[in-house]
Amino acid sequence: MSLRVLMGRIWAVNGRKSVAVGSNNGNLTRTQLLLVGDDVRHETRCGYAMRQELTETGIIWRRPEHVPAWHPRKSGELKTPTPPDLTRLRMDVLPAASMMEEVNEVTQQLLSLKFARSSEHSKVEKHDVLCQIRRHKYDCGSIEARIGMLTVKIRRLQDKMFICKKNAQERVHLQDTIDRRSRLLRKLRNHDYKRFEWLVEKLEILHRPFPDPTERRSRKISLRKLVQLYGKDLQEKRLAEYQEALEKKKEPFLKEKTETLRWIAETEASLGVPISVSVPGEETEESDTQEK
Amino acid sequence: MMAKSLARSALFVGKCIAHELKGAAKVEVRLLELDENLHMYFPSFQHYFADDPKEECKTGDIVLIRELPEKKTVLITHSVEKMLYKLGDVTDPITGKNVIMSKYRDQIKERNEQFGPGEGDAGGFNYEEAPPRGWQEGKKDFSHRVGYKAWHVFEPGHPLHDDPAAS
């Protein structure tokens, strides 16, 4: 991010090379202010002014990109869904799987996933996930089985949302499903912590706490936080520098101290007064000789 | 004076909640306050930071805390006297068996064995082979962190860059 001062105001601009856009006062026009260049043309203005006194010290706020609530990054999906093999049989034909060798190729294709509906693909995916996590062969109601099936549903709906983002009905449905799953995950964590950890690892879900609903993302508050972080860093840096400087002074100080103490001891000895100080290096030698 | 000393010797039972302070546990204590107009008790919550240098308390644990004779830091005023219930392996105090919700683990295992595993099943979760609790903390489970909205794009290398607790 770079900045440009214009008409006494500073505008933050995305990207490396800045596009300075300000008020249209004076002789300058918007087009004159744009820096012409291929890499610059697509850059857009952030839409918020920065505080000049802060930008001078290098404190620049970068607003995080908006991520919709249904997005895998928000819902905590760490794995992209893998479509099932199209040669596999549909779930309703599975009991007759042994007879498939007897039928001709066209029938085999018709009974496989190749020409099946999307819901048939979903059933197969759910079955695959359930095989990994279910308690017994008829289990589809335990809490982990429900979470597994909801995860498949969420990942499929998210894939659809990327294709058509304006489908509001699907989006609401997806959001409901995500909320339901997170509620179940919290419940499972409270009741059976070990199983929850195993499940989260198996399904590759990132479980994180909800943010404070009253919390707002604003330039003012974010800049305050950044100033606090800057102050903390500066404090640590200066303390480390001061400590280093003191460490460097330590050796000459000790040397000077020893010399001074020795001088005092020698002067007191020459005057015939009992010695009131002990020289650090000599004291140990004396004590050693006494011990011997 | 007497009230103060009584308060110091008092023990509180509370639930550990998420926080960002190192070497401590944040404990939520539920108290009941009387509304004199309605003559009804309403729950009120008080939060204390208890000294926990080994960081054994996890979010959801039930602990017993006592006020320290002198504050350890400005925030840490209490100490963890005893861990009452660890989140996870809940044990029935009468039979000594492990419990999940309203059923014993043995009952659930027995029921699962009656139905038997399906074809190509991985077998589900096994308590005996499971690692000790907290092995996913900081990897895929971030319940120990306080969630917040992402408020800045930090440079790579910064401790808050791509923070999983930020949503």
* Angstroms from A103 CA to nearest CA on chain B: 24
Q: Write down the pLDDT at residue A257.
A: 94
Examine residue B135 and state whether it is found in any structural domain, yes or no. no
Q: Are residues A172 and A50 in the same domain?
A: no
Contact between chains at B142 and A210 (C-beta distance less than 8 A):
no
Q: Are residues A77 and A160 in the same domain?
A: yes
Contact between chains at A136 and B117 (C-beta distance less than 8 A):
yes
**A46 class by beta-carbon count within 10 Å (0-12 exposed, 13-18 middle, 19+ buried):** middle
Contact between chains at B118 and A78 (C-beta distance less than 8 A):
no
Contact between chains at A189 and B143 (C-beta distance less than 8 A):
yes
C-alpha distance from residue A70 to each of A75, A201, A214, A265 (Å):
6, 21, 20, 81
Sheet holding B98-100: strands in order across? B90-91, B98-100, B103-104
Average pLDDT of the segment spanning A210-218: 89
Query: Which of A44-53, A115-124, B60-69 has the least mean pLDDT?
Result: A44-53
Q: Are the beta carbons of A188 and A143 closer than 8 angstroms?
A: yes
Categorize the per-residue pLDDT at A283 as very low, low, confident or very high, splitting at 50, 70 and 90: low
Q: State yes or no: pLDDT of B123 exceeds 90.
A: no
Q: Write down the pLDDT at residue B28.
A: 97
Examine residue A137 and state whether it is found in any structural domain, yes or no. yes
Q: State yes or no: pLDDT of B161 exceeds 80.
A: yes
Going by C-alpha positions, the residue among B15, B24, B21 that lies closest to residue B55 is B24
Residue of B101, B140, B166 with shortest CB distance to A205: B140
Residues spanned by the domain of B47:
2-85
Average pLDDT of the segment spanning B106-117: 93
Euclidean distance between CA atoms A98 and A283, whole angstroms: 96
Residues in chain B: 167
Examine residue B95 and state whether it is found in any structural domain, yes or no. no
Residue of A65, A195, A211 with shortest CB distance to B148: A211
| Selected residue with higher pLDDT from A193 and B118 | A193
Query: Which of A145-149, A274-278, B6-10, B50-54 has the least mean pLDDT?
Result: B6-10
Examine residue A150 and state whether it is found in any structural domain, yes or no. yes
Q: State yes or no: pLDDT of B133 exceeds 80.
A: yes
| Selected residue with higher pLDDT from A24 and A103 | A103
* Secondary structure element (H or E) that encloses residue B114, with its range: helix B105-115
In chain B, residues with a C-beta closer than 8 Å to the C-beta of A141 are: none
Examine residue A9 and state whether it is found in any structural domain, yes or no. yes
In chain B, residues with a C-beta closer than 8 Å to the C-beta of A225 are: 151-152
* Per-residue model confidence as pLDDT tens digits over B74-109: 999 999 999 998 998 888 989 999 999 889 999 999
Q: Write down the pLDDT at residue B119.
A: 84
Q: Are residues A98 and A185 in the same domain?
A: yes
Contact between chains at A131 and B121 (C-beta distance less than 8 A):
yes
Euclidean distance between CA atoms B76 and B53, whole angstroms: 11
* Substitution target from B114, B145, B167 for chain A, most A beta carbons within 10 A: B167
b/e for A143-160, b at 16 or more Cβ within 10 A? bbbebbbbbbbbbbbbee
Q: Write down the pLDDT at residue A267.
A: 94
* Per-residue model confidence as pLDDT tens digits over A10-61: 444 444 433 344 444 444 434 333 433 334 444 455 667 777 788 888 899 9
Q: Are residues A118 and A163 in the same domain?
A: yes
Q: Write down the pLDDT at residue A142.
A: 94
Please tell me whether residue B56 adopts helix, strand or coil conformation. coil
Residue of A191, A206, A215 with shortest CB distance to B101: A191
Examine residue A30 and state whether it is found in any structural domain, yes or no. yes
**Among residues A139, A174, A203, which one ends one of the domains?**
A203
* Per-residue model confidence as pLDDT tens digits over B13-61: 999 999 999 999 999 999 999 999 999 999 999 999 999 999 999 999 9
Average pLDDT of the segment spanning A192-206: 95
Examine residue A183 and state whether it is found in any structural domain, yes or no. yes
Examine residue A266 and state whether it is found in any structural domain, yes or no. no
Contact between chains at B142 and A206 (C-beta distance less than 8 A):
yes
Q: Write down the pLDDT at residue A104.
A: 92
Residue of B60, B130, B145 with shortest CB distance to A198: B130
* Per-residue model confidence as pLDDT tens digits over A178-198: 999 999 999 999 999 999 999
Contact between chains at B112 and A136 (C-beta distance less than 8 A):
yes
In chain B, residues with a C-beta closer than 8 Å to the C-beta of A196 are: 141
Q: Are residues A99 and A198 in the same domain?
A: yes
Q: Are the beta carbons of A130 and A202 closer than 8 angstroms?
A: no
Categorize the per-residue pLDDT at A280 as very low, low, confident or very high, splitting at 50, 70 and 90: confident
Q: Write down the pLDDT at residue B36.
A: 96
Residues spanned by the domain of A33:
2-55
Q: Are the beta carbons of A22 and A11 closer than 8 angstroms?
A: yes
Euclidean distance between CA atoms B136 and B165, whole angstroms: 14
Q: Are residues A78 and A178 in the same domain?
A: yes
* Angstroms from A52 CA to nearest CA on chain B: 18
- Three-class SS of chain A: CEEEEECCEEEEECCCCCCCCCCCCCCCCHHHHCCCCHHHHCCCEEEEECCHHHHCCCCCCCCCCCCCCCCHHHHCECCCCCCCCCCCECHHHHHHHHHCCCCCHHHHHHHEHHHCCHHHHHHHHHHHHHHHHCCCCCCCCCHHHHHHHHHHHHHHHHHHHHHCCCCHHHHHHHHHHHHHHHHHHHHHHHHCHHHHHHHHHHHCECECCCCCCCCCCCHHHHHHHHHHHHHHHHHHHHHHHHHHHHHHHHHHHHHHHHHHHHHHHHHHHHHCCCCCCCCHHHHHHHHHHHHC
Please tell me whether residue B161 adopts helix, strand or coil conformation. coil
Contact between chains at A204 and B140 (C-beta distance less than 8 A):
yes
Average pLDDT of the segment spanning A105-123: 93
In chain B, residues with a C-beta closer than 8 Å to the C-beta of A139 are: 112, 115, 124
The total domain count for chain B is 1
The total domain count for chain A is 2
Examine residue A246 and state whether it is found in any structural domain, yes or no. no
Average pLDDT of the segment spanning A230-258: 95
The mean pLDDT of chain B is: 92
Q: For residue B8, what is the domain's CATH number?
A: 2.40.50.140
A235, A239, A241, A247: CA torsion to nearest 10:
180
Q: For residue A95, what is the domain's CATH number?
A: 1.10.287.10
Going by C-alpha positions, the residue among B144, B105, B109 that lies closest to residue B123 is B109
Question: What is the β-pairing status of strands B62-67 and B98-100?
Answer: unpaired
Contact between chains at B146 and A198 (C-beta distance less than 8 A):
no
Residue for token pair 């039928």: A103
Residue of B88, B118, B141 with shortest CB distance to A207: B141
Q: Are residues A9 and A81 in the same domain?
A: no
